[in-house]
Amino acid sequence: MKKKKKNKEKQRTDLSTSEKELLEVNFCKDEVWETIRSCDGNKEPGPDGVNLKIVQSNWEVIQKGFMNFIWEFYNDSSIVKDLNNTFIALIPKRAKPETMLDFRFISLVGSMYKLLVKVLAYWVKKVMSSIIGEFQMVFVKDHQILDSFVVTAKIIHGWKNDRGGGLLVKLDFEKAYDSVDHEFLDSMMVDMGFEERWRRWIHDCISSPALSVLVNGSPTTQFGLERRLRQRDLLSLFFFSIVVERFSSLLRKVSDSDMIKGIIFGEND
């Protein structure tokens, strides 16, 4: 293994003009159906009590109403508040939970919002590799999250063979999704070149939900969100990667300035 001299990672770039145009193409009925058809229809329902299997089985009946909802969202960039209601289920992480940190929060969203998120995720996934650096193992072409474990194992093995050593640092985000500030996410989207329409869509998706915590199966009084991304919301996966990209870029700058030194390895190492 060799000491790292220069960070050769592909730098994140802004969205190209063609990618911006791709994101703002009006939603096509056939593409919406393909997105819905590919979903797991048996997952738990949200406040409306409807799971996606019902939507898939009755698409011919409800497609007109749903497409009107989609197109209205496309033009107005807003969601009817009742369609974005969310139940939060508290799943214990341990046998005898004592504090809120001992629970995992699971968001149960309504079927209309869930389908809208699937459609938006279908499009944003197409451009993620352009705005996320190669150090992130999710949403980068030809990368898998398991790659990080393989790389770490190779580093440790190399250190042992060279009779050298090094320092491995594991950085963990405590309550990662809960700590995301909506304004910061929007500023990152501006930096990455997202147009105002998309930013309005995303802002409405993450800021409009009315949440209720399920206590013994019954919902509490509703409350809103000033920060936080919902667990098990497909868009949250993409948004969190966008937020983490700022942290990743800071690490790159520190590395490029030689404040810290890493290692590189290639096919012959």
pLDDT of residue 266: 58
Taking residue 211's Cβ as centre, other Cβ atoms within 10 Å add up to 21
To the question of pTM greater than 0.85 for the whole model, the response is: no
Question: pLDDT higher for 254 or 173?
Answer: 254
Q: How confident is the model at residue 190 (pLDDT cuts 50, 70, 90)?
A: very high
CA nearest to 244, candidates 108, 88, 150, 128: 128
pLDDT tens-digit map of 143-188: 777 888 888 888 888 888 876 677 888 777 766 666 788 888 899 9
Q: Return phi, psi of residue 47, to 5°.
A: -60, -25
For residue 215, is pLDDT > 90?
no
* 122 Cβ neighbours under 8 A, 6+ residues apart: 31, 35
For residue 265, is pLDDT > 80?
no
Q: How confident is the model at residue 7 (pLDDT cuts 50, 70, 90)?
A: very low
For 143-165, give the secondary structure using H, E and C.
Answer: CCCCHHHHHHHHHHHHHHHCCCC
pLDDT tens-digit map of 34-58: 888 888 878 777 777 888 888 889 9
For 136-150, b/e burial (b = at least 16 CB within 10 A) is bbebbeebeeeeeee
pLDDT tens-digit map of 59-98: 999 899 889 988 988 888 888 777 778 888 888 888 888 8
